[in-house]
């Protein structure tokens, strides 16, 4: 099945939508890594499966996962996780919280957005928790991956995810699917 998905990503996406319907999913934020001027390509890719999603009763929305540099440097409007949502997905792509991070939270807040720091349990150590708390105080929210709390995830990732959950620092849990 994996080889079929590689050869025909549209057919794979259709099978994933069928499975999502069986699991009660009604909304999918189809997320790509940001690249300048790529919104049209992302929308075109989504159009290939939009009818199938509607047949399954699933609403699709195109969005990006931005790097911190993208947030600070881009002059394009940011794509959020929903058409009326202020939430912007941001991947710090480093095991360290950079000094410009809190400024970025402020910048996008002034522009009407809220930063969602994605998979902090995979990037940061327990020592980063006090700094993550400062990001939350500044207006960011944390999103962990559902798989990170499962027994087969790496022990450090699982421990960090559970610690963030126990401290009530997590605002949302995402399920990742790739085509």
Both structure tokens of 165:
């959950």
Burial of 179 (0-12, 13-18, 19+ CB in 10 A): middle
Residue 64: closest CA among 14, 113, 123, 102: 113
Q: What is the pLDDT of residues 36-90, one digit of tens each?
A: 778 788 888 888 888 889 999 999 888 889 998 888 887 788 889 988 899 999 9
Give pLDDT, residue 8. Answer: 61
Above 90 in pLDDT, residue 134?
Answer: yes
Residue 127: closest CA among 150, 86, 156, 165: 156
- Gap between the Cα atoms of 87 and 76, Å rounded: 16
Both structure tokens of 146:
């559902």
Give pLDDT, residue 178. Answer: 58
Is the CB of residue 12 less than 8 Å from the CB of residue 179? Answer: yes
Give pLDDT, residue 45. Answer: 82
Q: Cα–Cα–Cα angle for 153, 154, 155, nearest 5°?
A: 110
Is the CB of residue 160 less than 8 Å from the CB of residue 124? Answer: yes
Whole-model pTM?
A: 0.84
Return the axis-axis angle of helices 129-138 and 155-166, rounded to nearest 10°.
50
Both structure tokens of 141:
């929210």
């Amino acid at each position: 099945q994996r080889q079929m998905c590689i050869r025909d990503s549209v057919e794979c996406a259709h099978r994933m939508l069928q499975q999502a319907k069986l699991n009660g999913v009604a909304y999918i934020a189809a997320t790509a890594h940001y690249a300048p001027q790529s919104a049209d390509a992302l929308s075109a890719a989504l159009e290939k499966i939009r009818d199938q999603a509607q047949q399954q009763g699933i609403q699709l929305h195109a969005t990006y996962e931005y790097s911190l540099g993208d947030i600070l440097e881009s002059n394009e409007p940011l794509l959020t996780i929903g058409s009326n949502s202020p939430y912007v997905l941001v991947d710090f792509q480093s095991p360290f919280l950079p000094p410009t991070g809190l400024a970025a939270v402020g910048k996008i807040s002034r522009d009407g957005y809220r930063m969602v720091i994605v998979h902090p349990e995979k990037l940061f150590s327990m020592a980063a928790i006090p700094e993550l708390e400062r990001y939350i105080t500044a207006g960011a929210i944390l999103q962990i991956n559902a798989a990170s709390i499962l027994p087969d995830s790496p022990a450090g990732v699982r421990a960090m995810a559970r610690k963030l959950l126990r401290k009530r620092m997590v605002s949302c849990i995402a399920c990742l699917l790739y085509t």
